[in-house]
Amino acid sequence: MTEEKVGVYICHCGNNIAGTIDVEAVSEWAATLPHVAVARDYRFMCSSLGQELVEQDIKELGLTRVVVAACSPHMHEPTFRKACERAGLNPYLMEMANIREHASWVHQHDKEAATEKAKALISGAVKRALELSPLEPSRVPIQEATLVVGGGIAGITTALEIADAGHPVYLVEREPSIGGHMAQLDKTFPTLDCSSCILTPKMFDTGNHPNITLLSYSEVEEVSGYVGNFTVRVRKKARKVNTDLCTGCGECWSRCPAKVVDTVYEAGLGYRTAIYRPFPQAVPKYPVIDVENCIYFQKGTCKACEKFCPTGAIDFEQEDEILELEVGNIVLATGYDLFDARRIPQYGYGRLANVFTSLEFERMVNAAGPTGGKVVLRDGVTEPQSVAIIHCVGSRDKNYNPYCSATCCMAALKFGHLVKEKTDAEVYSFYIDVRAAFKDYEEFYNRVLEEGVHFVRGRVAEVTDAARQPGEEGKLIVQVEDTLIGKQRRIPVDMVILMAAMEPRADAEEIAHLFGVGCSAAGFFTERHPKLDPIATMSDGIFIAGACQGPKDIPATVGQGAAAAARVLTLISQGEVEIEPVRAIIDEERCSGCRICNNLCPYGAIDYIEDPGVSRVNPALCKGCGTCVAACPSQVITGQHFTFESIMSQIEGLLYDVSNGHETYAEPAPLETA
Amino acid sequence: MSQPNGTYAFYPGCSMGVSARAYDQSFRRVAEVLGLEFQDVDDWNCCGATEYFTLNRLPAYSLVARNLSLAAGMGKEDLVAACSACYLNLHKTDSYMGKYPDLNEKVNRALAAGGLHYDPGTLRVRHLLDVLVEDIGYEAIGEHVTQPLKGLRVAPYYGCLVVRPESNYDPEYPTHLDDLMRALGATVVDFPLKTHCCGGHMTQISEETAYELLRRLLANAAEYNADVIVTVCPMCQLNLDAYQSEVNRVFGTDYHIPILFFTQLIGLAFGVAAEDLGFGAEIVPADEALKKIGQEEAPKPRTPRRRDKKALPMPPPLS
Ligand SMILES: Cc1cc2nc3c(=O)[nH]c(=O)nc-3n(C[C@H](O)[C@H](O)[C@H](O)COP(=O)(O)OP(=O)(O)OC[C@H]3O[C@@H](n4cnc5c(N)ncnc54)[C@H](O)[C@@H]3O)c2cc1C
């Protein structure tokens, strides 16, 4: 074996590392380690000058291994791998020691210990680097088609962008129609353009685009594969309507005798029939039968829809269909749920008739909604003389969600304006802070202020119908501490609107699990990087867009939807993807064919080959997790880049004794091979 | 059940033997039926109520800690109080001694003078309502019901102390007493003021303040057509019951709402005789209201319930 030459590079990361760790001392010490040819410290190793330093040393000093002691490899492993590659060194011979997250940040109070820990981490990294082998990534072709999950404005935007670029898209939507929450809204802040006027053309284009296969009333059941080559199983729920025959004429739902409160599209404020199309502009235009509420399905008789359908399109026997799709990339755009305001009982939603949620109110002011756009109390006729709008219901509240739900202040301003426009009512808006941060938003706030909406600063304590003073009888009383005047106030009103928070979908965690992406503590899907990559996820080839990533309004949603499309198009145009060589390989000569590893592999990446009776790893499916390596009774599976030798050496290095500078570990017993 | 043998240390407090004899009597009968054993703390002293803590805190904590120390000597896990103020003071003292080492040290120095000691956290301080709901449960209680309280409209009054500042229940709008009353077959009315203050000892200091607070509670219960207000605290019961006629006089109202302890209603539903449950001690008589028990819910006015075509649907209650 030729003498290995290791270069060690210690990053100051400005003050992030150097403020706690004595980087010069660590650098001097590292230079004395066996095989280390050079050790340097530098202010920002990730800068181009820092990278050039590494490249120069590889070329001039003939380094054969590189150790970078800096931040998490999540952050900059690709950066330094590329630097090595540019200088002609195999990128898999570079090792990172994380002395920022693992040392300087967590031991700020104890500089000495942090410095010694950094040494231990570097010692481990150097030992491990010496055991690394050069590896070559493999390349596989990418499937051109993309799966978009969720047909709200986010998913619609992504699907149209990709389809317009000439590539096929499958758009899977759970509900009978695409449109999402935007389809429920009346006007949109801050310009007050009509939501369906700007959404409907996009929905139409989506439904009619030659490159988009719209799978509405469908859900993804299983996902396997990897970037470039996913296999997805989709359940297309039975509409009980033959869409080849249906013309969407509406004869069926106008004859349906079953009335059901519509908790989805009408947000509980209106009714629909059992066979229904959620709204007139629905895409696709076909109705579905809600089997649970259909009189025929529940009681065995009725069939009114079938009798009156002029084209014979009703099909009670229709079954769910299962489709298998091959796609290269996936975009999740599953949106949000509204916080269930009944969870805050002191605000009275569900108890006090004239307390409404924000989405109920959207439906109420919508000309196509249950009241024809009239602002009325729950009795359906009385116009309110006074309306309270309560901000931050279920958000900015440690009892429910600590985060700011971002869109509700603006929606509350919009509501204030709409109530003023449609009625003579006095409007009180109860806020903690009015957050109107983006383009033209503050201006809208000023406009609503001038229109005479009363803003009261304070979190509402309760909404009650228990009258206490004259003038309160028959009213809803909003009890609040007005923090600007420092007084408790009781404001009697006729109607209360609760600005409920945007929450992760109730099934967000299951969906995250299905697609192998993460969820934040709040439950929104986790992006790869909160600043530099809010669109990708930790799973290659899976992107997120819209409110499923965090509360956001339509402009931000559309921006992210288009960005996700751009990321997918980049991959498609590359034509193939690189597969990390960090994976397991089986020494087939010594494999006994026991197949223990086959079932243990969480990715289904190991197949048994009948002839010659051995197991084999599919490199494209393997994620290099190491389960099979640990399980193999004959120890003939190697985790590339994480070999037994490299791990043991790293542990030896980590056990470097910080107190006296000696290595304290015992020599490991030689590995017994079968 | 948290107590394997169903036995608890019990702190009676000053009211139970005096103004709240009905509470004491009924709770002990109910405990018998449920097979629970409550052992009184021997030689207990007053909890200091609400006043002492505002006057002189260290002696107040020490006074309460003395009870904790005596109770801890009984070898039980849970110390139960039936009075909300006693419960709060015991709970608070135990919790603050655990949170503030300095207070713990001083209080224990005071206790040491009497040869006592208390380590915070030794006991779990609980209210009787919590014991019945958590350890026995609605279902098991329901199984003992022989005389369901059918037709009785109950306003569940928690008062301000049982759910604050720390509890396992929603502090703004708790529902466990509601559910317990439902398990007895009663009709529970919405009672928006269920956790509002009864005035406490304000009746002695500022009648005006106290009467207004009491008026609100009575008005609210009357508005929802409650037959009785059910309480979990001797103070709440006394105020609403004893001062009801005063409230009527001052405000020109005419309320006659009996104020009962929740254990009295449990006892009735269990089939225990009313005289064994302390009935008759209340000032606003309960007989009229109790006559309703056993009747089905009063029939609704028979105007055909045609839904107003224009009315909008209401969200169903949270399941
Ligand atoms: C009361 C209120 C008023 C608002 N007003 C405005 C406004 O005036 N202006 C503005 O800019 N923003 C407004 N917003 C915000 C706006 O609603 C969102 O920004 C926008 O709807 C987010 O779009 P989305 O596509 O990410 O999510 P969504 O609209 O929630 O769409 C997600 C779609 O995915 C589908 N889906 C979910 N899960 C699955 C699954 N597992 N499989 C298949 N499909 C699935 C859903 O059925 C839905 O169609 C308002 C929000 C509220 C609550």
Domain-embedded: residue B14:
yes
Given a cut of 60, whether residue A85 has pLDDT beyond it is yes
pLDDT digits (tens, 9 = 90+) for B196-249: 999 998 988 899 999 999 999 999 999 999 999 999 999 999 999 999 999 999
What 3 state SS string does A61-129 have?
Answer: HCCCEEEEEECCHHHHHHHHHHHHHHCCCCHHHEEEEECHHHHHCCCCCCHHHHHHHHHHHHHHHHHHH
| Residue of A515, A528, A519 whose CA lies nearest to A564 | A528
Instruction: Give counts: helices (H), strands (E), chain B.
Output: 15, 8
Domain end, chosen from B128, B157, B176, is at B128
pLDDT band, residue B290 (cuts 50/70/90): confident
pLDDT band, residue B142 (cuts 50/70/90): very high
Domain-embedded: residue B309:
no
pLDDT, position A560: 98
pLDDT, position B1: 44
| B194 lies in the same domain as B244 | yes
List the structure tokens of B23.
């509470």
Average pLDDT over residues A631-649: 94
CA A574 to CA A560: how far, in whole Å? 21
- CATH number, residue B213: 3.40.50.11810
Provide DSSP, A305-348: HHHH-TT--B-TT---EEEEEEESEEEE---EEE--GGGSGGG-
pLDDT band, residue A658 (cuts 50/70/90): low
List the structure tokens of A616.
């084999």
Given a cut of 80, whether residue B3 has pLDDT beyond it is no
Kindly state the percentage of chain B with pLDDT values over 70.
94
Q: Do B173 and A346 touch (CB under 8 A)?
A: yes
Q: Is the peptide bond between A402 and the residue preceding it cis, with omega within 30 degrees of 0?
A: no
Which atom of ligand 1 lies closest to the CA of A219? 42
Domain end, chosen from B128, B161, B194, is at B128
Average pLDDT over residues A415-422: 97
Domain-embedded: residue B316:
no
Domain-embedded: residue B111:
yes
Position A249, amino acid: C
pLDDT, position A665: 45
- CATH number, residue B97: 1.20.1050.140
Which residue puts its alpha carbon closest to atom 22 of ligand 1?
Answer: A547
Domain-embedded: residue B307:
no
| B174 lies in the same domain as B254 | yes
Average pLDDT over residues A638-662: 83
Contact A65, A5 (CB under 8 A): yes
B214 Cβ contact partners less than 8 Å away, ≥ 6 residues apart: B198, B199, B239, B240, B243, B244, B247
| B163 lies in the same domain as B108 | no
Given a cut of 70, whether residue A1 has pLDDT beyond it is no
| Mean pLDDT, chain B, whole residue set | 91
| B21 lies in the same domain as B124 | yes
**From the CA of A187, how far away is ligand 1's center (Å)?**
14
Kindly state the percentage of chain A with pLDDT values over 70.
97
Helices B101-113 and B84-99 cross at an angle (nearest 10°) of 110
pLDDT, position A659: 52
List the structure tokens of A308.
């009156």
Domain that holds residue B12: 7-128
Instruction: Quote the DSSP letter at residue A292.
Output: G
Q: Do B317 and A371 touch (CB under 8 A)?
A: no
Given a cut of 90, whether residue A602 has pLDDT beyond it is no
Given a cut of 60, whether residue A391 has pLDDT beyond it is yes
pLDDT digits (tens, 9 = 90+) for A398-413: 999 999 999 999 999 9
Bridge-based pairing state of the strands A229-236 and A321-327 = antiparallel
Q: Do A269 and B312 touch (CB under 8 A)?
A: yes
| B164 lies in the same domain as B288 | yes
pLDDT, position A674: 44
Phi-psi region of A406 (alpha: psi -120 to 50; beta: other; left: phi over 0): left
User: What's chain B's Rg over C-alpha atoms?
Assistant: 21
Q: Partners of A7 in the beta sheet? A: A38, A66
Q: Do B315 and A268 touch (CB under 8 A)?
A: yes
| B110 lies in the same domain as B164 | no
CA B240 to CA B214: how far, in whole Å? 6
Position B83, amino acid: C
* Minimal Cβ distance to A379: which of B175, B308, B317: B308
| B199 lies in the same domain as B263 | yes
pLDDT, position B172: 86
pLDDT, position B301: 47
Given a cut of 70, whether residue B158 has pLDDT beyond it is yes
Q: Which domains does chain A have, with CATH numbers?
A: 6-135 (3.40.50), 251-308 (no CATH), 337-503 (3.50.50.60), 584-640 (3.30.70.20)
| B19 lies in the same domain as B101 | yes
Higher confidence at residue A601 or residue A664? A601
Given a cut of 60, whether residue A305 has pLDDT beyond it is yes
Domain-embedded: residue B91:
yes
| B124 lies in the same domain as B177 | no
Provide DSSP, A371-392: TTT----TTSSPPPSEEEEEEE
List the structure tokens of B148.
């369901």
pLDDT digits (tens, 9 = 90+) for B46-71: 998 878 888 889 999 999 999 999 99
pLDDT band, residue B5 (cuts 50/70/90): low
- pTM confidence score: 0.82
The set of protein residues with a Cβ atom below 6 angstroms from ligand 1 is A 149-155, 172-175, 180-182, 185, 188-189, 219, 333-336, 338, 358-359, 362, 407, 411, 414, 502, 505, 511, 546-547, 552-555, 557
A468 Cβ contact partners less than 8 Å away, ≥ 6 residues apart: A477, A490, B216
Given a cut of 50, whether residue A666 has pLDDT beyond it is no
pLDDT, position A156: 98
pLDDT, position A608: 94
Given a cut of 60, whether residue A191 has pLDDT beyond it is yes
CA B200 to CA A397: how far, in whole Å? 30
CA B236 to CA B259: how far, in whole Å? 9
Chains A, B: CB pairs < 8 Å: 59
Domain-embedded: residue B29:
yes
pLDDT digits (tens, 9 = 90+) for A604-631: 889 999 999 999 998 878 888 999 999 9
- Strand arrangement, sheet containing A355-357: A355-357, A495-500, A386-393, A426-431, A454-457
pLDDT band, residue A661 (cuts 50/70/90): low
Helix residue spans in A183-266 (DSSP H): 195-208, 251-255
Residue B252, chain A, CB below 8 Å: the answer is no
Q: Do A270 and B318 touch (CB under 8 A)?
A: no
Report CA B174 to chain centroid distance, whole Å: 13
Which residue puts its alpha carbon closest to atom 37 of ligand 1?
Answer: A334
pLDDT, position A348: 94
Kindly state the percentage of chain A with pLDDT values over 90.
90
Instruction: Quote the DSSP letter at residue A656.
Output: B
* Minimal Cβ distance to A349: which of B175, B216, B315: B315
**From the CA of A196, how far away is ligand 1's center (Å)?**
13
Contact B118, B67 (CB under 8 A): no
pLDDT, position B294: 67
B316 neighbourhood in chain A, CB within 8 Å: 350
Which residue puts its alpha carbon closest to atom 4 of ligand 1?
Answer: A411
Which range is least confidently modeled, A163-172, A579-588, A647-656, B305-314?
B305-314
CA A383 to CA A219: how far, in whole Å? 42
pLDDT, position B316: 87
Structurally, chain B folds into a number of domains equal to: 2
**From the CA of A181, how far away is ligand 1's center (Å)?**
4
pLDDT band, residue A3 (cuts 50/70/90): confident
pLDDT, position B134: 94
Q: Do A346 and B190 touch (CB under 8 A)?
A: no
Residue B316, chain A, CB below 8 Å: the answer is yes
Which range is least confidently modeled, A290-294, A431-435, A584-588, A654-658?
A654-658
| B152 lies in the same domain as B283 | yes
Tell me how long chain B is. Answer: 319
Given a cut of 50, whether residue B299 has pLDDT beyond it is no
Phi, psi angle pair for A560, to nearest 5° = -70, -35
| B200 lies in the same domain as B121 | no
ipTM value for the complex: 0.71
pLDDT digits (tens, 9 = 90+) for A437-485: 999 999 999 999 999 999 999 999 999 999 888 899 999 999 999 999 9
| B93 lies in the same domain as B33 | yes
| Mean pLDDT, chain A, whole residue set | 94
List the structure tokens of A539.
């799973």
CA distance A374 to chain B (A): 12
Given a cut of 80, whether residue A649 has pLDDT beyond it is yes
* Minimal Cβ distance to B172: which of A346, A380, A466: A346
pLDDT, position B296: 53
Given a cut of 80, whether residue A223 has pLDDT beyond it is yes
CA B93 to CA B68: how far, in whole Å? 9
pLDDT, position B48: 87
Q: Do A466 and B311 touch (CB under 8 A)?
A: no
Domain-embedded: residue B319:
no
